[in-house]
Amino acid sequence: MTVPTLSEPEAPAPDEQAGKRGRERAEPLPARIVRALLTQRIVLLAVLIVLVVIYFMVLGANGYLTAAYDFDYMSAALINAVPLAMLGFAELIVILSGRGGIDLSVGAIVSLAGMIFGFAYGQWGWPLWVAILITAIVGGLLGLVNGILVAYIGFPALIATLATYYAYKSLAVVINNQRPISTRPIQDLYDSTARSVQLPLIGAWVPDVPKGIFLFLLPTMIVVWLLLARTTYGRRVYAIGTNDVAARWSAIGVRATRAGAYMISGLISGLVAVVTVGQFASARPDAGVSGNGMALPAITIAVLGGVAITGGIGRVSGIVLATVLIVWMNAGIRLAFEGNAGPQNQLLALGLLLVFAALLNGFALRRYGGAG
Amino acid sequence: MTTASTGDGAGGAPAPPAQDQPSTEEAQTTATREDRTTRLQMTDISKRFGAVRAIRHADMTVDVGRVLAVVGENGAGKSTLIKILSGAVIADTGTISYEGRQVSIRSTSDAMALGIATVYQEPQLFRELTVTENIFMGREIRRGGRIDWAAQTQKVVDLLALLELPPRYATAVVGDLSIAEQQQVSIAKALAGDANILILDEPSAILTDAEIEVLFRVVRRLTDSGVSVIYISHRLDELFRIAHDVLVMRDGRTIGTYPIGELTVRKVVELMVGGILTETKHERELDSEAKPRLELANLGRRGEYHDVNVAVRPGEIVGLFGLVGSGVSEIADSIYGIDHADSGRILLDGRPVSPRSPLHAQRLGIGLLPADRKQQGMFSFQSIMFNISAGHLTLLSKLRLWVDRVRERKIAQDMISRLAVKTPSENQPIGAMSGGNAQKVVLARQLVERPQVLVLAEPTQGVDVGAKEEIHRIINELADAGTAVLVVTSDLPEAIRISDRLQVVRNGTTTVEFGPNATQVDVLAAAAGDVDGQQGRANGSAEGAA
Amino acid sequence: MSIDVAERDQASPSGPEPTTKGRHRVLSPPVTGQELVLIGVIAVLWAILAFTTPAFFTPSSIQPLVASVAPIALIGIGMTVVIITGGIDVSVGAAIAVCSVITAKLVLVQAGQSLPVALIISVIVGGLLGLLNGVLIAYGRVHAIIITFGTANIFLWIALKIFNSTTVNNIPDTLAPLGNGAAGRTFGVPNSFVITVVLAAIAWYYLRHTAGGRHFFAIGGDQLAAQLAGVEVRQRILAAYLLTGLLVGLASTFVVAQGSNLGQNVGNGKELAVIAAVVIGGTSITGGRGSVLGTVLGALLVQTVASGVTQLGWRSELSDLFVGIAIIIAVGADLLRERTRRKR
């Protein structure tokens, strides 16, 4: 509690709104466009998506691609969007909750929960829906461990999720002696969850869409959007991410809300585990941690999608657009280069985009007082 | 309530004055003008921030080896004047001359180069590093590439000796020290830079009496060695023990500089306050038979306040006025469930309650407007609507889950019009709004559930005059509608204007109570050090609840 | 270090007990409580392992363990400084890939250069990578974690391009003095470890006894206050990442020296291992406090656990589990200490 101290000016700020409105009216169109691009992340992403798609289509038309970059291809590529966007939502919620919120353990949860799913559905013969439910719950509990460490005990999120990353990663391998589970039911899962299907009614004019989009991505997207934009819990998350001292003074249960964010992240990771098992037709112990792991792309999506690393700012639409941008960009790169150069250049593109997005965030913050 | 001052024999400071007679102490206060050397002179200073004139006209003379106290109400301009001197703010007009030659202070490094060092209330220290490292950060003594620890430590030990701290503090980690000790380290740090002018901003606010004695001895040692000290304080009784001269500011002007020998506490207060306010007060019908809705009985929290007794009846506005460090803001926090009291009782309509958290307090029907809007009240980049609803998510929901956006929007719009918030829509983010408008939004949040008891901490801090009027109007309306209102403030005119009854908090406990016709002079005198508030006799005032 | 002081009134009851007149410490103790605990834990672990697996205390198992500590601890020195300033660098794994493939493929296999040349080139390349990070973070004013996530990708791309989708084979043994084999040891101690310890000692001295070193702590403690005190914040931050890059370059030569093949997944996940070592060693992730000695001990603990797990015949992945637990315990103990201290 402070009463005015020397460090605060006694003079109140005059009403700035009139001045701001005046300035807005006088701004010429090009400057307005630039400002919208820099401060409205959605706008920027949408523009970039269009540019990327046009770019690759033009390349294709001029014969530079190994296959056609057409709507069918773009639609099929969306299979990769499913786990990516879902983990992007997970990171969104955690980063939104503020206090340095981040979750490095999502990939490890995917691996461990995936193995649980493999046991439940692939070996013990439980019904699919039960297995999926159990997997999600397991994911939620694993995430709750993070939540307790961060919100109740006070570990920095980076440390807590780093530790659980190590722990869960090793458990995933140990639990089945490093063997994947690829029994028959698991293999059949590809057909039921990952294959592309023709859309009803409009299917003849529109490319086939991977099932995963409808089974997993869209429901998760809707639920997360509803959660953040329409529920009291979502408001609490934004509140604690914006100013958790003011949240406390507003009678918001800061610790419970924050722990919940990590639990939800774990739950979503559990669902991603099911998606991944279906996509590879096998429950692999290194599913979420192979290569660079799944956490890094998810966090990249979040930052690209306009999430503020300090919390309180971020939207589902940003995540979705950022995912679509990355997926279609990667898809184009794969066609534009032969052999391994494709995946390699995807890395470069991702890295450059991230640095660019971060610098942009910083610049927009200084120049316009924020990007959203 | 007040501390008896002990004779210290260190020489220099006069004894505290009796009531109205000026002190007849000789000592240095009768030094004539010719005995002094002026070190720094500020002339014709003015400063405006946008449309607000923080300083209209100020002059200040800082002399060698003397303590200049700077006093003034909140808003009088003394903070700005000091900031100009320390380089944090650049004056619009006026000149500054140092030892006769004109200088320009345009940055904190300019000020430091002239030997001007400032010790703020919040110590700006590196908590993980030792005292020696803190003092020498950025100006390490080196010997052949490496730090000369011996030389640094020797210097630090010498400085610590000046501050009456033992040598072992040189290697103590700052984070392990108490706030008072950290303040002493800040002073040492200022002195390490060979300061000629040391500015102390409310140094005694966080000190115990014993620590204040030490501080005064240190200050005297400094002035004996020629350092000029500028001492900003609200605690007027202290000035008579340490200051040689007093500079009084009011409404952005320096009224004058007076040798301490010509002053009494009351006289200082009169100069600070100026003429009598002629604002009309809102007349209110009060039922003096009604039982209090909120009562604090012997409330205490160790280290912060003790024996606090306050009663607020429904429809009544009770003011709690206290200066920095009086403990008044901590009392408000405890009512709301933050840092709750550990002794005494809080009674709501006669029943004892103990709010354990803001949620609990809300459920009991208590609302609180936090003192520090930016840190404790505002969700800066969220909309007005978000800010208002933030405290009532369960209420404004269906099935406790879905936010009832229609109702929320309506409430936000109602509040905007009721509180006259200047905004094009309820979706505007409050971060860019003026202080007054933002404060109204945070206040609106408290009003949604029509609390029975409303505590307002510093309700118009950093708020422009127009919004201040409006907020006061709203507070009166709330009281008229039956709410028991407790206004906790360090803004004296506000406290007098808005309160039906005004209690002064000093040294962590409630003291004198004033009725509706209190004068600023009386109240400030009681708060700042007039013993037993003997001047505080106004209509119907008495200790305790009616 | 001692000075002569006259005793003064013991007015204040707080603070540590005074030593006798004449000598007293001028600095905080060189070894912190956390580090002592780590030493204890490592000693206990070694004792247990020596007991349960007699093979543990033989040179053939201790030497590889100590050699494996070297690259992690070495990079850990730089990471410690980075984390002390309040930053972080998750690109070191990818940077290892770049430096090692350039060294292995271009310098050794293709150009057949000698050890000094390979060393210098590797260090320079690492330094350039670190410089990029440093410039972006110090002058771009963006969060370190995001920037280094981005540069990690970029570095990985560079590395993979140079790898050209094949493992690098037939690497000559020019770097053997830095490797795990007999040529890499002096009096039975792996040279890489000796180099690491020497550099760690230099870093320890620098951080403790020079103004520049103390400035890192100030920046991590309160960047604004540091700037006001005259610390050159940007330059120091740049230096921290540059140092890390240079150390990555050196550590990569150790990695290359360990075999005649270099796979494309070299360095994968190493950034997490380094961060784990730093954190277990007692450096605070929020900055302002830390120690190189702790990092070396942390790396030693992690590798001891890994080695012990293998020796005991357990699954090697279990060592990850123990690392996770170690992180929790180490940081948890730190948090506890902070909490009891802040009670004042």
**Which pLDDT band holds residue C32 (cuts at 50, 70, 90)?**
confident
In this structure, is residue A293 part of a structural domain? yes
Nearest by Cα to C322 from C301, C337, C336? C301
Taking contacts as CB-CB distances below 8 angstroms, the residues of chain C near B169 are 15
Task: For this complex, say whether ipTM is above 0.85.
Answer: no
Give A160→chain C minimum CA distance, Å.
Answer: 7
DSSP secondary structure letter of residue B260: G
Closest partner CB to C165 (pick from A153, A300, A340): A340
DSSP secondary structure letter of residue A62: T
**B360-384 burial: b if 16+ Cβ within 10 Å, else e:** bbbebbbbbbbbbbbebbbbbbbbb
Is residue B526 within 8 Å of B492, Cβ to Cβ?
no
Helix (H) / strand (E) containing A318: helix A316-336
3-state DSSP: chain B helix, strand, coil percent, rounded to 5?
35, 25, 40
Closest partner CB to A10 (pick from B54, B336, B457): B54
User: Which residue shows structure tokens 């301490």?
Assistant: B260
Cβ burial of A307 (10 Å; 0-12, 13-18, 19+) is buried
Residue type, C96: I
Helices (H) and strands (E) in chain C, counts: 12, 2
Which is higher by pLDDT, C333 or C341?
C333
In this structure, is residue A165 part of a structural domain? yes
Question: Does residue B201 sit in helix, strand or coil?
Answer: strand
Domain holding A206, by residue range, is: 68-358
* Residue pLDDT, tens place only, A125-172: 888 889 999 999 999 999 999 999 999 999 999 999 999 999 999 999
Best probe of the B interface among C214, C286, C341, by most B CBs < 10 A, is C214
Is residue B526 within 8 Å of B534, Cβ to Cβ?
no
Structure-block tokens of residue B80 = 């700005």
In this structure, is residue A164 part of a structural domain? yes
Taking contacts as CB-CB distances below 8 angstroms, the residues of chain A near C140 are 358-359, 362
Give B82→chain C minimum CA distance, Å.
Answer: 18
CATH number where A125 lies: 1.10.3470
User: Which residue shows structure tokens 């150790």?
Assistant: C254
Query: Looking at the predicted structure, is the pLDDT value of residue A14 above 60?
Result: no
User: Which residue shows structure tokens 């070193």?
Assistant: C213
Q: List beta partners, residue B200.
A: B119, B231
Structure-block tokens of residue B235 = 């605690």
Structure-block tokens of residue C61 = 């198992």
Residue type, B463: V
What's residue B127's pLDDT? 87
Query: Looking at the predicted structure, is the pLDDT value of residue A282 above 50?
Result: yes
CATH number where C112 lies: 1.10.3470
User: Which parts of B64-168 fold into alpha helices (H)?
Assistant: 78-86, 108-113, 131-136, 149-162
Phi then psi for residue A225, to 5 deg, are: -60, -45
In this structure, is residue C29 part of a structural domain? no
Q: Which of A352-366, B410-424, C95-109 has the lowest mean pLDDT?
A: A352-366
* Residue pLDDT, tens place only, B141-153: 888 888 888 888 8
Query: Looking at the predicted structure, is the pLDDT value of residue B35 above 80?
Result: no
Q: List beta partners, residue B429.
A: B383
In this structure, is residue C190 part of a structural domain? yes
Q: Which of A39-43, B54-58, B261-265, C1-5 has the lowest mean pLDDT?
A: C1-5
User: Which residue shows structure tokens 């440093």?
Assistant: C134
The Cα B238–Cα A135 span in angstroms is 69
User: Which residue shows structure tokens 């490890």?
Assistant: A108
Residues in chain A whose beta carbon is closer than 8 A to a beta carbon of chain B?
1-17, 20-21, 230-236, 238-239, 242-243, 245-253, 312-313, 369-370, 372
Is residue A282 within 8 Å of A186, Cβ to Cβ?
yes
Is residue B535 within 8 Å of B525, Cβ to Cβ?
yes
CATH fold label, B277-365+450-546: Rossmann fold (3.40.50)
Which is higher by pLDDT, A57 or C27?
A57
What's residue A27's pLDDT? 66
For chain B, the first-to-last Cα distance in angstroms comes to 22
What's residue B144's pLDDT? 81
**C136-158 burial: b if 16+ Cβ within 10 Å, else e:** bbbeeebbbbbbbbbbbbbbbbb
Tally of domains in chain A: 1
Which is higher by pLDDT, A181 or B102?
B102
Taking contacts as CB-CB distances below 8 angstroms, the residues of chain C near A296 are 149, 152-153
Query: Looking at the predicted structure, is the pLDDT value of residue C152 above 50?
Result: yes
Q: What is the arithmetic mean of pLDDT over C113-142?
A: 92
**C204 interfaces chain B, CB cutoff of 8 Å:** no
Query: For residue A368, what is the nearest residue in chain B, using CA coordinates?
Result: B432
What's residue A16's pLDDT? 37
What's residue A292's pLDDT? 64
Taking contacts as CB-CB distances below 8 angstroms, the residues of chain A near C324 are 162-168, 170
The Cα B106–Cα A220 span in angstroms is 56
Is residue B233 within 8 Å of B71, Cβ to Cβ?
yes
The Cα B482–Cα B449 span in angstroms is 14
**CB distance B137–C9 less than 8 Å?**
no
For chain C, the first-to-last Cα distance in angstroms comes to 30
Structure-block tokens of residue A40 = 């409205």
Arithmetic mean of pLDDT over chain B: 82
Closest partner CB to B168 (pick from C15, C28, C289): C15
Give Cα separations from B223 to A369, B32, B34, B226, B278 (angstroms): 47, 17, 18, 5, 42
The Cα C208–Cα A221 span in angstroms is 52
Phi then psi for residue B241, to 5 deg, are: -100, -15
What's residue A291's pLDDT? 61
Superfamily of domain B37-115+195-275 in CATH is P-loop containing nucleotide triphosphate hydrolases (3.40.50.300)
Give B424→chain A minimum CA distance, Å.
Answer: 9
- The answer to whether the Cα torsion of B321, B322, B328, B329 is positive or negative is positive
Structure-block tokens of residue C186 = 């002096």
Give B139→chain C minimum CA distance, Å.
Answer: 8
Which is higher by pLDDT, B206 or C333?
C333
**CB distance C229–B138 less than 8 Å?**
yes
| B104 Cβ contact list (under 8 Å, min separation 6) | B96, B110
With pLDDT > 90 as the criterion, what percentage of chain B qualifies? 26
Q: Which of A207-211, B195-199, B304-308, C87-91 has the lowest mean pLDDT?
A: A207-211
Q: Write out residues 310-339 of A within 8 Å (CB-CB) of C.
A: 339
The total number of residues shown for chain C amounts to 344
Q: What is the arithmetic mean of pLDDT over B174-189?
A: 86
CATH 3.40.50.300 segments of chain B: 37-115+195-275, 277-365+450-546
What's residue A270's pLDDT? 95
DSSP secondary structure letter of residue A188: H
**CB distance A11–B362 less than 8 Å?**
no
Among A34-38, A259-263, A356-360, C305-309, the range with the most confident prediction by mean pLDDT is A259-263
Structure-block tokens of residue C331 = 């940081």
In this structure, is residue A192 part of a structural domain? yes
Cβ-based neighbour number of residue B7 at 10 Å: 7
What's residue B14's pLDDT? 42
Give C220→chain B minimum CA distance, Å.
Answer: 9
What's residue C227's pLDDT? 85
Structure-block tokens of residue A359 = 């610098």
Is residue B250 within 8 Å of B78, Cβ to Cβ?
no
Query: Looking at the predicted structure, is the pLDDT value of residue B365 above 60?
Result: yes
What's residue B435's pLDDT? 81
Query: Looking at the predicted structure, is the pLDDT value of residue B393 above 80?
Result: yes
Q: How far is CA C281 from the centre of its chain?
A: 10
* Residue pLDDT, tens place only, A185-232: 777 777 777 777 777 777 766 777 777 888 899 999 999 999 999 999
Number of alpha carbons in the 13 Å side-chain half-sphere of residue B130: 22
Question: Does residue B367 sit in helix, strand or coil?
Answer: strand
Query: Looking at the predicted structure, is the pLDDT value of residue A258 above 80?
Result: yes
Best probe of the A interface among B250, B326, B372, B378, by most A CBs < 10 A, is B372
- β-strand B228-232 against B305-312: which pairing, if any? unpaired
Radius of gyration for the alpha carbons in chain A, expressed in angstroms and rounded: 22
Query: Looking at the predicted structure, is the pLDDT value of residue A18 above 60?
Result: no
What's residue B27's pLDDT? 39
In this structure, is residue A76 part of a structural domain? yes
Among A85-99, A330-344, B88-102, C270-284, the range with the most confident prediction by mean pLDDT is A85-99
Arithmetic mean of pLDDT over chain C: 84
With pLDDT > 70 as the criterion, what percentage of chain C qualifies? 91
Structure-block tokens of residue B276 = 């009598």
Radius of gyration for the alpha carbons in chain B, expressed in angstroms and rounded: 25
Structure-block tokens of residue A53 = 């798609």
Is residue B117 within 8 Å of B81, Cβ to Cβ?
no
User: Which residue shows structure tokens 């192979």?
Assistant: A290
Is residue C25 within 8 Å of B171, Cβ to Cβ?
yes
Closest partner CB to B166 (pick from C10, C226, C342): C10
Domain holding C236, by residue range, is: 63-341
Give B434→chain A minimum CA distance, Å.
Answer: 5
Is residue B197 within 8 Å of B116, Cβ to Cβ?
yes
Query: For residue B162, what is the nearest residue in chain C, using CA coordinates?
Result: C8
Query: Looking at the predicted structure, is the pLDDT value of residue C2 above 60?
Result: no
Q: What is the arithmetic mean of pLDDT over B203-212?
A: 79
pTM: 0.83
Tally of domains in chain C: 1
* Residue pLDDT, tens place only, B403-457: 999 999 999 999 999 888 888 888 888 887 888 889 999 999 999 988 999 999 9
**A303 interfaces chain C, CB cutoff of 8 Å:** yes
**Which pLDDT band holds residue B485 (cuts at 50, 70, 90)?**
very high
What's residue A80's pLDDT? 86
**A222 interfaces chain C, CB cutoff of 8 Å:** no
User: Which parts of B103-148 fold into alpha helices (H)?
Assistant: 108-113, 131-136
What's residue B275's pLDDT? 62
**Which pLDDT band holds residue B207 (cuts at 50, 70, 90)?**
confident
Q: What is the arithmetic mean of pLDDT over C251-266?
A: 88
DSSP string covering B290-340: SPPSEEEEEEEETTTEEEEEEEE-TT-EEEEEE-TTSSHHHHHHHHTTSS-
With pLDDT > 90 as the criterion, what percentage of chain A qualifies? 43
**CB distance C28–B178 less than 8 Å?**
no
What's residue C22's pLDDT? 34
Best probe of the C interface among B128, B132, B164, B189, by most C CBs < 10 A, is B128
What's residue A369's pLDDT? 56
Query: Looking at the predicted structure, is the pLDDT value of residue A5 above 60?
Result: no
Best probe of the C interface among B171, B174, B206, by most C CBs < 10 A, is B171
What's residue B280's pLDDT? 56
Q: List beta partners, residue B259.
A: B245
Q: List beta partners, residue B348.
A: B294, B351
**Which pLDDT band holds residue C27 (cuts at 50, 70, 90)?**
low
Q: Which of A144-153, B55-64, B178-187, B523-532 has the lowest mean pLDDT?
A: B523-532
Cβ burial of B460 (10 Å; 0-12, 13-18, 19+) is buried
Chains with 3 or more CB pairs under 8 A to chain C: A, B
**CB distance C27–B176 less than 8 Å?**
no
Which is higher by pLDDT, B323 or B313?
B313
Which is higher by pLDDT, B183 or A89?
A89
Question: Does residue B258 sit in helix, strand or coil?
Answer: strand
Question: Does residue C99 sit in helix, strand or coil?
Answer: helix
Phi then psi for residue B346, to 5 deg, are: -115, 130
Structure-block tokens of residue C145 = 């974690």
Q: What is the arithmetic mean of pLDDT over B285-312?
A: 85
| B469 Cβ contact list (under 8 Å, min separation 6) | none
The Cα C313–Cα C178 span in angstroms is 29
Q: Which of A205-214, B141-150, C128-137, C285-294 has the lowest mean pLDDT?
A: A205-214
Q: What is the arithmetic mean of pLDDT over C144-173?
A: 88
Question: Does residue B248 sit in helix, strand or coil?
Answer: strand
In this structure, is residue C261 part of a structural domain? yes
The Cα A102–Cα A90 span in angstroms is 10
Give C26→chain A minimum CA distance, Å.
Answer: 32
